[in-house]
């Protein structure tokens, strides 16, 4: 199936942006405060798409729920003060794609579970070429992915039908949300995927190996 002239909606962490270096650095600050050794970026990377809660579970296995919440808050405070100091950047190949969208007059959007108080300053600092026409953060609506409401809200803001969009993500919740919203989906294979190839069972419509591959899916080529 090829999706023709759709509006591109993308996840943030592990799809549009490689935020693992800065999120990993903040997590290791908390580990150091607890007298623990730093974890390697390779070990942390597959969990970054699961947000602060997932990273805390990885870094502090067995910690009681109340302790996890306190650790999570400390983590996000450290992260908020250093959003781009350790190498966060747009994934290679996305800038040319955004330029193609701009040249074609095609809007695009971001739908993420990251809260707006982190999403907004992060995007401001990165100053993306051809900025998104809509940004739906984890606290923009009353539900978060895998609920379809954030994707439906993005479509409402853009005045497009979900069936004419493509949602690109790197977590199962992304594919579930798209399916529930009646939206075609794609997996960003460059993202923060687990090594067990579980993503092959998520039922996405497309598996994209490089951002440039989206040009054909979005009918950007003449």
Provide the annotated active-site residues: 11
How far apart are the C-alpha atoms of 27 and 78, rounded to whole Å?
A: 8
What are the E-state strand segments in 35-122? 89-90, 108-111
For every residue of 34-56, DSSP letters joined together read TT-PPPPHHHHGGGGGGHHHHHH
Residue 141: φ, ψ to 5°: -115, 175
For residue 195, give every residue at least 6 positions away whose Cβ sits within 8 Å of its Cβ, in sequence order, or none.
Answer: 46
Separation CA 205–CA 3 (nearest Å) = 10
Instruction: Give CA 129 to chain center in angstroms.
Output: 18
> What is the rounded CA–CA span in Å between residue 170 and residue 48?
10
Compute the distance between CA of residue 222 and CA of residue 106 in angstroms, rounded to an integer. Answer: 14
C-alpha distances in Å from residue 150, one per residue of 10, 35, 205: 12, 39, 20
């Amino acid at each position: 199936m090829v999706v023709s002239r759709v509006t591109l909606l993308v996840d943030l962490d592990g799809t549009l942006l490689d935020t693992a270096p800065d999120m990993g650095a903040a997590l290791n600050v908390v580990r150091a405060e607890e007298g623990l050794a730093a974890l390697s970026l390779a070990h942390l990377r597959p969990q970054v798409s699961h947000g602060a809660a997932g990273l805390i579970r990885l870094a502090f296995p067995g910690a009681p729920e109340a302790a996890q919440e306190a650790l999570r808050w400390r983590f996000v405070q450290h992260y908020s003060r250093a959003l781009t100091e350790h190498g966060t950047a747009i994934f290679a190949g996305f800038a040319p794609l955004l330029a193609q969208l701009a040249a074609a007059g095609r809007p695009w959007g971001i739908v993420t579970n990251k809260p707006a108080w982190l999403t907004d300053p992060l995007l401001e600092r990165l100053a993306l070429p051809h900025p998104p026409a809509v940004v739906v953060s984890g606290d923009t609506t009353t539900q978060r992915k895998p609920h379809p409401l954030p994707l439906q809200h993005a479509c409402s803001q853009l005045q497009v039908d979900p069936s004419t969009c493509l949602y690109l993500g790197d977590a199962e919740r992304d594919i579930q949300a798209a399916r529930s919203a009646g939206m075609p989906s794609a997996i960003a294979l460059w993202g923060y995927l687990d090594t067990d190839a579980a993503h092959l069972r998520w039922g996405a419509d497309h598996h994209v190996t490089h951002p440039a591959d989206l040009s054909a899916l979005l009918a950007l080529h003449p």
